[in-house]
Amino acid sequence: MSAFSAIGEDREIDREEFTPTLEPQATWCPGCGDFGVLKALKQAMPEVGRNPDEVLLVTGIGCSGKLNSYFESYGYHSIHGRSLPIARAAKLANPELEVIAAGGDGDGYGIGGNHFMHTARENHDMTYIVFNNEIFGLTKGQTSPTSPKGHKSKTQPHGSAKDPIRPLSLALTSGASYVARTAAVNPNQAKEILVEAMQHDGFAHVDFLTQCPTWNKDARQYVPYIDVNDNDDYDFDPTNKEEAAAMATEAEQSLYEGEVLTGRFYVDADRPSYSEEKQAIGEMPEEPLAERYFDDDYEWERTHDLLLDRHK
């Protein structure tokens, strides 16, 4: 029997299993877009067929990092910007886990930008949800990497002189094999995209537009949104990287002009995940490494022969 019997359990999963029966200390403001992410994620879980004990949700720091408090599963509320390196190692250690990383735009595109680029290029089989509300929320309203140029805040009183990060394009060029954008105000599409992202075998990046009614009052609430996959005006093939890139660029530009384009922008179902690549070159075992420590029959290698061979 596996030491991890929660994994692959064959039963109906109820989304309420992911709701803590004990209400956590409230940290999200009324009307916060983060509730939309939470709802979509809970709704997605039964369709993905994963139970709370086989899900590892790794978060960073910020309002988004509190997602674990509202979501019942194995959770790792880590440090600012570092959810991805923790998540990807957990996935390497046990590829059978459902690994989800989540963070905000400051956490994911600012302090964790380097990890975002590298995790995407390695194409780890995991889902990365970035709560994008174009503001630092938990530290009380400073300009974020996705705030529009000219955005005024207490730390940039004359307005930001910087162009915002273009997360979809960044994910795409870095090598993510699934790139999508959805919005908290669109729960049905959000759930659908999260299901797809989790079922995708590779790095799935979901830029999740969330409103911040406390610190970003002026920001659009991302309505009305347009689903680019359902709208004939945006006829493009998400499996074609060039067309996907053009569409992503347009969506990123138009967001700052007041038009909210959402949907799946890029899907590459053929690219092998990082674990598969690593196993193919013989640098990762086929069986989950973590299982080995619970297997009483496993014969652990001694280094003595290796040592004699090289150092005698």
Task: Tell me how far apart the alpha carbons of residues 26 and 23 are, in angstroms, rounded to a whole number.
Answer: 8
Q: Are 207 and 235 in contact (CB under 8 A)?
A: no
For residue 105, state whether it binds other proteins (rule: CB under 8 A).
Answer: no
User: What does each C-alpha distance from 27 to 31, 95, 311 come to in angstroms?
Assistant: 12, 32, 58
The correct pick among 68, 144, 146, 186 for binding other proteins (CB under 8 A) is 68
Q: Name the minimum Å distance from CB 65 to other proteins.
A: 9
How many other CB atoms are there within 10 angstroms of residue 226's CB atom? 16
**What are the DSSP E strand ranges found in the chain?**
55-59, 74-77, 98-104, 126-132, 135-136, 142-143, 178-183, 203-209, 225-227, 260-267
Task: Tell me how far apart the alpha carbons of residues 102 and 87 are, in angstroms, rounded to a whole number.
Answer: 10
For residue 161, state whether it binds other proteins (rule: CB under 8 A).
Answer: no
For residue 11, state whether it binds other proteins (rule: CB under 8 A).
Answer: no
**Amino acid found at 107:** D
Nearer residue to other proteins within complex by CB, 243 or 276 = 276
Considering only residues 115-134, where is the footprint of other proteins by CB under 8 A? 115, 117-118
Per DSSP, 177 falls in state: S
The correct pick among 32, 38, 44, 86 for binding other proteins (CB under 8 A) is 86
For residue 107, state whether it binds other proteins (rule: CB under 8 A).
Answer: no
Sketch the per residue contact string, 234 through 253, with other proteins: x for CB under 8 A, - otherwise. --------------------
Using the contact rule CB under 8 A, the part of the chain among 161-169, 184-192, 238-246, 302-310 near other proteins is 302-310
Locate tokens 């006829």: which residue? 235
For residue 297, state whether it binds other proteins (rule: CB under 8 A).
Answer: no
Considering only residues 24-53, where is the footprint of other proteins by CB under 8 A? 24-25, 52-53
Question: If residue 32 lies in a helix (H) or strand (E), which one and from where to where?
Answer: none
Nearer residue to other proteins within complex by CB, 235 or 299 = 299
For residue 293, state whether it binds other proteins (rule: CB under 8 A).
Answer: yes
Q: Are 264 and 178 in contact (CB under 8 A)?
A: yes
**Amino acid found at 20:** P
Q: Name the minimum Å distance from CB 125 to other proteins.
A: 14
Q: Are 69 and 83 in contact (CB under 8 A)?
A: no
The correct pick among 3, 223, 269, 280 for binding other proteins (CB under 8 A) is 3
Task: Tell me how far apart the alpha carbons of residues 263 and 181 are, in angstroms, rounded to a whole number.
Answer: 5
Which sign, positive or negative, has the C-alpha torsion 234, 237, 239, 241?
A: negative
- Count of residues near other proteins by CB under 8 A: 68
For residue 176, state whether it binds other proteins (rule: CB under 8 A).
Answer: no
Considering only residues 261-280, where is the footprint of other proteins by CB under 8 A? 278
Q: Name the minimum Å distance from CB 10 to other proteins.
A: 13
Print the SS3 string covering 102-119.
Answer: EEEHHHHHHHCHHHHHHH
The correct pick among 75, 141, 159, 272 for binding other proteins (CB under 8 A) is 75
For residue 16, state whether it binds other proteins (rule: CB under 8 A).
Answer: no
Q: Name the minimum Å distance from CB 305 to other proteins.
A: 10
Per DSSP, 12 falls in state: P
| Footprint on this chain of other proteins (rule: CB under 8 A) | 3-7, 9, 20-22, 24-25, 52-54, 56, 58, 61, 66, 68-69, 72-80, 82, 84-94, 96-97, 114-115, 117-118, 278, 282-285, 289-290, 292-294, 298, 300-304, 306-308, 311-312
